Amino acid sequence: MSLETQKPSQENPMSAEPVAETSRVSPFRRVLNAVGVQNSSLIIALVVLVLIIGSQNSNFFLTNNLLLIGSAVTIMGLLALVQTLVIILGALDISVGSMAGLASVASAMVFQATGGNAGIGMLAALGIGLVCGLVNGMIIIFGRVNPVVATLGTLAAYKGLAQLISNGKSQGYTGADDFFIFLAKGSIAGLPTLVWVFLIVAALLHFLLKYTDIGRNIYAIGGNDTAARLAGININRYIIGVYALVGVVAAIAGILITARTGSGQPVSGSEGLELQAVTGAALGGCMLKGGKGSIVGTVLAVFILGVLDNGMSLLGINPFWQNIARGVLLVVAVVLQQLRSGERRVGLPT
Rounded to an integer, what distance in angstroms lies between the CA atom of residue 169 and that of residue 38?
43
pLDDT higher at 289 or 155: 155
User: Which of 121-130, 275-284, 297-306, 334-343 shows the lowest per-residue confidence on average (mean pLDDT)?
Assistant: 334-343
DSSP, collapsed to helix, strand or coil, labels residue 188 as: strand
Contact of 243 with 133, CB cutoff 8 Å: yes
Q: Count the neighbouring beta carbons within 10 Å of the beta carbon of residue 26.
A: 8
Reported pTM: 0.87
Using pLDDT thresholds of 50, 70 and 90, give the confidence band for residue 10.
very low
Calculate ∠ Cα 294-297-298, nearest 5°: 90
DSSP, collapsed to helix, strand or coil, labels residue 293 as: coil
Q: Would you state the pLDDT for residue 31?
A: 57
Q: In the chain, where are the structural domains located?
A: 58-314+321-336
What's the gap between Cα 213 and its chain centre? 20
**Residue 263 reports pLDDT greater than 50:** yes
pLDDT higher at 174 or 244: 244
- Burial readout 73-90 (b: 16 or more C-beta within 10 A, e: otherwise): bbbbbbbbbbbbbbbbbb
**Residue 197 reports pLDDT greater than 60:** yes
Q: Count the neighbouring beta carbons within 10 Å of the beta carbon of residue 116.
A: 15
CATH number 1.10.3470 is the correct assignment for the domain at 58-314+321-336: yes
**Residue 217 reports pLDDT greater than 50:** yes
Which of 186, 177, 164, 174 minimizes the C-alpha distance to 263? 174
Which of 281, 252, 284 minimizes the C-alpha distance to 126? 252
Contact of 274 with 155, CB cutoff 8 Å: yes
Rounded to an integer, what distance in angstroms lies between the CA atom of residue 86 and that of residue 238?
10
Amino acid code (one letter) for 152: L
Q: Would you state the pLDDT for residue 3?
A: 44
Rounded to an integer, what distance in angstroms lies between the CA atom of residue 242 and that of residue 208?
11
Using pLDDT thresholds of 50, 70 and 90, give the confidence band for residue 22.
very low
Which of 44, 61, 75, 67 minimizes the C-alpha distance to 304? 44
